[in-house]
Chains A and B, each alone.
Chain A
Amino acid sequence: ETGVTQTPRHLVMGMTNKKSLKCEQHLGHNAMYWYKQSAKKPLELMFVYNFKEQTENNSVPSRFSPECPNSSHLFLHLHTLQPEDSALYLCASSPRVMNTEAFFGQGTRLTVV
């Protein structure tokens, strides 16, 4: 078991679709994160959750909507995305915010057509 599990691994969606990415961690961590990795760009932090509360939104467009129902689960709801949103979306967790050794999931490869 990898500790941080993301589903689905691959997703193709149209610009008018609504879909959700799921992340689950079995490490007992209290902080969870969404990162985006576009081609030839560094990993970019999107959202930070600490004890289920969102503590950071890194200027992410509203077509990305995160949800953290508990410390073990994190969702990213996607709505009316653009082709330039195609990227690898990575979930991560850490024991607490500012404990910066984050553990990453395998990512969801998203393609918007």
Chain B
Amino acid sequence: DQQVKQNSPSLSVQEGRISILNCDYTNSMFDYFLWYKKYPAEGPTFLISISSIKDKNEDGRFTVFLNKSAKHLSLHIVPSQPGDSAVYFCAASARYGGSQGNLIFGKGTKLSVKP
């Protein structure tokens, strides 16, 4: 059973608009959440993270929101640019209640930003 779910395999957005990528999780022990971005033929690169003690973290055009009661997080990209087209992975970790170093990943959402 998947502990981290990204229910949208793909998302298409117009350049300049907002991209919203969603992620749901089931394990209440998760206390740290990350988003990774992956271009074809490259490994995933870390984008932004959030601790469970916060509900929002912002870094430039990227903002991650966490709703612990709903076990839901989202990544907002504003404004979206064609270079943002990639696969975005949500990941979660139970740093103090689970396996050390064990990042649990979702299946990813492929974002396409149209010029």
Using CB atoms and an 8 Å cutoff, list the residues of chain A in contact with chain B.
Answer: 4, 6, 31, 33, 40-45, 48, 50, 55-56, 58, 90, 92, 94, 97-98, 100-107
Contact = CB atoms under 8 A, between A and B. Distances in A.
Contacts of A94: 101
Interface of B: 2, 4, 32, 34, 36, 41-46, 49, 89, 91, 93, 95, 99-108
Contacts, number: 72
Nearest to B36: A104
A78 to B, nearest CB: 19
A36 B34 CA distance: 18
Contacts of A48: 99-102
A36 to B, nearest CB: 11
A43 B93 CA distance: 13
